[in-house]
Structure 1
C-alpha cells in the first residue's frame, strides 16, 4: 500500500450514475499509474444507480482507492473540488468518469508539467477524434471559439476532463460552478503558464451523459462574463517577506543614527 507521505499524484474522478464504467476505468488508471506514487479519489456526486455499491466493491481490493460521496448532486466542479481538497498528493490529475478520457495519457501530461518547471501550473489535455454527437461537438466548438477570443487563454479545448495540475495552484483559483472549464485562463491569471498535449477521445462504454458541456448557452455566457471580469480586476500580487527580529532591530538602529 502506498503511504500517504510518499504520495505525489492524486487522481480525482467525479462520477454520477456511472456504475457500468467504474471497474473498467479503475483498472485502466491502475495500469497507467503503475510506475507512479499515486492514489485515486472517486467522488460520487449523488448517484442514484448502483455506483455506490460498485465503488465499495472495487475499493475493497484496492487500498489506494478512496471514495467520497455527496449527499446530493452538486455538479462536476463541486465534485472535483471535493476531491482536490481531500487529496494527499501535491499534483492532481483529473479525468471524467464515463471512460471517454483515456488514463494512459496521465503520465505524459505529468511529464509535460514537470518539463515546464515550477512556473507551470496546468497541463491541459486537448481532445482529438471527438466521439460526441454532432450537436454537442457544434456546441463545444462555438463555446471554445467564443471563450478563446474573449479570454485569450491559448487553449483549444478547455472542456477536456484530462488535466494535470499543481494542487496549491488550484487552491488559489476563485471557486464557482463550471470552474473546471475555465482553468487555463484562471491559471494564467495567477501568473502560471499552461502547457497543452493532444489526447485521444474515446466513445462512452455505457450509460448516458450526466454533465453537460455548456448545454445551456446563457449560463455559459454568464460564466464567461464573470471570468472576464475576474481577469480584468486582477492586480499584481506583491511578494511579502517576513521581517525577523534581528532585521527589525537593525532598522531601529538605523533610525537612531539618523
Structure 2
C-alpha cells in the first residue's frame, strides 16, 4: 500500500479539489490511503475534511490540537501511515498528484538503495521574488551540504517509511530530506515534476521567515553531517 501524507493549515478551499485529484491519479493504479494532517487550522479545514470522510474510503484525518508546523505534521502522518512507501504533497494544491505515478515508476526502475525520490519543480509557478529567494537558498544549501539536489523545497516526494522514521527529527527537517537520507547512507534521486499556481488561500510562509529559519537549520544540518558515523555492522554466528 502507498500512503499519501498531506499536511494542511488553513486550506479550507483546497482540500476537496486536491483529494479528488489524488483519487483520480491513484485509484485503480495502486492500493493507497490518504492521511491528511490538519495542523490546528483556524478556518473550516477540519469541517471540510470531516465531511469528506464518508465520501472517500481511502481518507484518514489526523488533527493537531496545538500547531506544530509542517515537519511535525508530516512526521505524525508518516507515523500513522500503513504503507511501506510514503508520498507527500503540500496541501495548497501546487503539487500535481498526477506526478505520483511518475515517482512510483522511477522507484520501480531504480536502485533498491535509493530511498527518496524528490520532486524537482523545473518550471515554477511562484512569484518572481519567491523563485529568486528559492534559487539563492538552494545554491547556498548545495554548497554547504553537497546533497546534489536542485530543489529540496518541493513538497511532492516519495520515500520509504522506515528510512524516514530513522532520520533525526527537528523542526523544518522536511526541507533537508535529501541531505538527511544521504547522511544515513541512502541514495536519493530528483525527478522533474509539474508545478502549479496556488488555487486559493495564501502561503503560510514569507521569504524573510524562510531565510531566518534557514540559516540556523543549515548550520544544524551541516553539523549533523559532519558528526555522522556509519560503521559496517556484522553479527557473529554460533
TM-score class normalised by the smaller sequence? over 0.9
Q: In the superposition, relative to structure 1, how do residues 214 and 65 fare at CA in structure 2: closer, same or farther (>3 Å)?
A: farther
Contact 1:13 1:41 in 2 (8 A): yes
2:19 maps to what in 1?
A: 26
Does the CA contact (< 8 Å) of 1:116 and 1:195 recur in 2? no
Secondary structure of the 2:209 match is coil
Structure 2 residue 126 is the aligned partner of structure 1 residue 132: yes
Match of residue 55 from structure 1 = 49
Q: State the distance in 1 between where 2:37 and 2:137 align.
A: 27
Give the match for residue 38 of structure 2: 44
Quick check: 1:91 aligned with 2:81? no
SS in structure 2 at match of 1:182: helix
Unaligned runs of 5+ in 1: 1-7, 248-258
Task: Return the match for 1:205 from 199, 202, 218.
Answer: 199
SS in 2 for 1:80: helix
Contact 1:21 1:205 in 2 (8 A): yes
Between 1:234-243 and 1:119-128, the stretch displaced more is 234-243
The structure with more radius of gyration: 1
Cα offset, 1:128, TM superposition? 2.2
Over aligned residue pairs, what C-alpha RMSD do you find? 1.3
Write the distance in 2 (CA, Å) between the matches of 1:212 and 1:95: 19
Question: In structure 2, what is the equivalent of residue 254 of structure 1?
Answer: none
Residue 116 of structure 2 corresponds to residue 122 of structure 1: yes
Alignment of 1:106 with 2:100, yes or no, is yes
Paired residue total: 237
Structure 2 residue ranges without an equivalent (≥5): none
Following superposition, the deviation at residue 242 of structure 1 comes to: 6.2
Counterpart CA distance in 2 for 1:188 and 1:61 is 40
Find the aligned partners of 2:22 and 2:142 in 1 and give their Cα distance: 31
| 1:11 is the counterpart of 2:4 | yes
Kept after mapping to 1: 8 A contact 2:150/2:190:
no
Structure 1 residue 113: Cα displacement = 1.8
1:68 correspondence with 2:30: no
CA positional deviation for 1:241? 2.1
1:132-183 superposed Cα distances (whole Å, 9 cap, x missing partner): 1111111111110000011111111100000000001101110001111100
The CA deviation at 1:213 is 6.1
Shift of residue 61 of structure 1? 1.2
Q: How does 1:219-238 map to 2 (within 5 A)?
A: 219-238=213-232
Secondary structure of 1:123's counterpart equals: strand
Contact kept? 1:113, 1:195, Cα under 8 Å: no
- State the TM-score, normalized to the length of structure 2: 0.96
Q: Which residue is equivalent to 2:140?
A: 146
